[in-house]
Amino acid sequence: MQQIDLLIVGGEVINAFSRRFLDVAVSEGKVVGLLNSDAPKPPARKVIQAKGLYVLPGAIDPHTHLGSGAKVFGNIPATMKACTQALALGGTTTVMEMIPPKKGMTLFEGASQARAEREGNMAIDFAFHPSIPSSEDSVMAQLENCADEGIASFHASFEGSRGREALNEGILYHLLTLARERRMMMIVHAEDSRLNEAIIKQTPNAGAVEKVSSCRPWLSETSAVRRAVFVSELTRGPLYFEHLGAGPSLNAVRSARLAGLPVYAETCPHYLCFSEEIYKTSRGVEFLKSPPLRRKADVEALWRGIQDGTISSVATDESLALLQKKREATEQLPAYQVSGGLNQIELRLAVMQTEMVVRRGMPIEKVVHCLATGPAMVFGLYPRKGTIEIGSDADLVLFDPKVTRKIRNEDLHQGTDYTIFEGWQVQGIPRMTILRGTILAEDGCIVGPDDGGQWLARKIDPSVTGGPAA
């Protein structure tokens, strides 16, 4: 029998639709064998005992703004090294980032520059979603160019902040038609800016922290979701709603999926774990985020959406923020304009396993689906990523479901002065994170290279752009 690089023995391999006790054989960065425990073992250069542990596919965080962490770390290389190591420690092996338009650059030039700045500074694999600034013909041509180069998704917003043109039905019609033809995934920030403006005008003391959820209300999100779903119905263009927080928005997504439309929903740990009442407390500033937290009934509706598969993906939408800076910003701006990160990139897997499996009795397979398989399928990385199959990249997390830990910001590696999960008790931690066969993190320490992350060219499967397939 040929010698292999790595053999992981005795663990339980968890995929989105299966769990089995199998030994995992790895060579040249790929999974080359999944062996029953009584099968003859190939000789291996390294053997890892995984008795009592889950072997999970490396998690994928499909929605981040890591680049804006340069505010915390001073420059892009330092930001990327720190953030991707934090991600690796938390069990994430692939990260996707929104790339905003750069002045005077095409979308592809902007993405190429971002790639050049990141290569050699990423501990984990990475991919991009360019944010489109407008719907001009030149931008459409640039999107085609991106698709040819393996950037199979893009981002646009109904809200239209930061110099971007706000989406409307006409622009959507154009973009979704292109997305369908070129098998791209269109990511939509669903928040109706006209509704927000009208409501802000009518709200007394609108700039206060305790008013953020009423100034950017759930109905603004649902309005934009319904408008976008209607255009997807007309064009059959594939849509992914980022950071949904409102129950009625999910109802629209659910109906669209039942009707066979390629419509996908993402939510984030903060919408699942907190609700808008927190803005009325002394911790309110910590939770300023665009869009804001929602009502308690919405939180319950999101959990139903996870349970019934309406939600395909749980992402952090991380951009890192210092609490001091957020406080200063609320002195200069209305609170509904203050955004920034919630500092949770390292915590997603442990928090979600605790909330889904320990607190709500869901199967661990569901965690794998929302954190790895769903994002991999939607964004064209499956089955290379997001699952443990023969031929997949050997991106693996050895996860101990029994260990408990209290979250403290001072133990985290993202360089910020707080996390929204401070003091939370989690059950289950990643004991080892492996990227393409190389051990990156072990027992809370980085042990692997901080520069081995590769940029990923992507192609989305026609089943995903043609109907609800994840």
Q: Which positions lie near Zn ion, rule CB under 5 A?
A: 317
Q: How far is the CB of 92 from Zn ion (least distance, A)?
A: 16
Whichever of 191 and 317 has its CB closer to Zn ion, that residue is 317
- Closest listed residue to residue 362, CA positions, set 426, 299, 308: 308
Whichever of 379 and 399 has its CB closer to Zn ion, that residue is 379
Whichever of 100 and 448 has its CB closer to Zn ion, that residue is 100
Whichever of 54 and 158 has its CB closer to Zn ion, that residue is 158
Whichever of 291 and 468 has its CB closer to Zn ion, that residue is 291
Whichever of 286 and 317 has its CB closer to Zn ion, that residue is 317
Q: Which two tokens stand for residue 440?
A: 């990156």
Characterise 4 by phi-psi region: left (phi > 0), alpha (psi -120 to 50), beta (else): beta
Q: How far is the CB of 63 from Zn ion (least distance, A)?
A: 6
Q: How far is the CB of 358 from Zn ion (least distance, A)?
A: 28
Whichever of 159 and 317 has its CB closer to Zn ion, that residue is 317
Whichever of 65 and 384 has its CB closer to Zn ion, that residue is 65
Is there a contact between 110 and 145 (Cβ–Cβ < 8 Å)?
Answer: no
- Closest listed residue to residue 221, CA positions, set 197, 196, 186: 196
Residue type, 104: G
- Residues 6 or more apart in contact with residue 190 via CB below 8 angstroms: 158, 221, 222, 224, 225, 228, 241, 242, 244, 249
Is there a contact between 55 and 14 (Cβ–Cβ < 8 Å)?
Answer: yes
Q: How far is the CB of 65 from Zn ion (least distance, A)?
A: 6
Is there a contact between 214 and 203 (Cβ–Cβ < 8 Å)?
Answer: yes
Q: How far is the CB of 218 from Zn ion (least distance, A)?
A: 18
DSSP state of 430: E
Is there a contact between 271 and 320 (Cβ–Cβ < 8 Å)?
Answer: no
Q: How far is the CB of 33 from Zn ion (least distance, A)?
A: 39
- Tokens 């002195």 found at: 331
Cα separation, 429 vs 352, in Å, equals 11
Residue whose Cβ sits closest to Zn ion: 317
Whichever of 23 and 286 has its CB closer to Zn ion, that residue is 286
Q: How far is the CB of 282 from Zn ion (least distance, A)?
A: 26
Residue type, 155: H
Whichever of 287 and 399 has its CB closer to Zn ion, that residue is 287
Cα separation, 46 vs 5, in Å, equals 6
Exposed, middle or buried: residue 203 (CB in 10 Å: 0-12, 13-18, 19+)?
middle
Is there a contact between 449 and 438 (Cβ–Cβ < 8 Å)?
Answer: yes
Q: How far are the Cα atoms of 67, 98, 114, 320, 337 from residue 70, in angstroms, in the given order?
A: 6, 14, 13, 9, 20
- Residues 6 or more apart in contact with residue 468 via CB below 8 angstroms: 256, 257, 260, 261, 262, 263, 264
Cα angle: 29, vertex 9, 352; to 5 degrees? 75
Give the containing element (helix H, strand E) for 301. Answer: helix 296-307
Whichever of 175 and 396 has its CB closer to Zn ion, that residue is 175
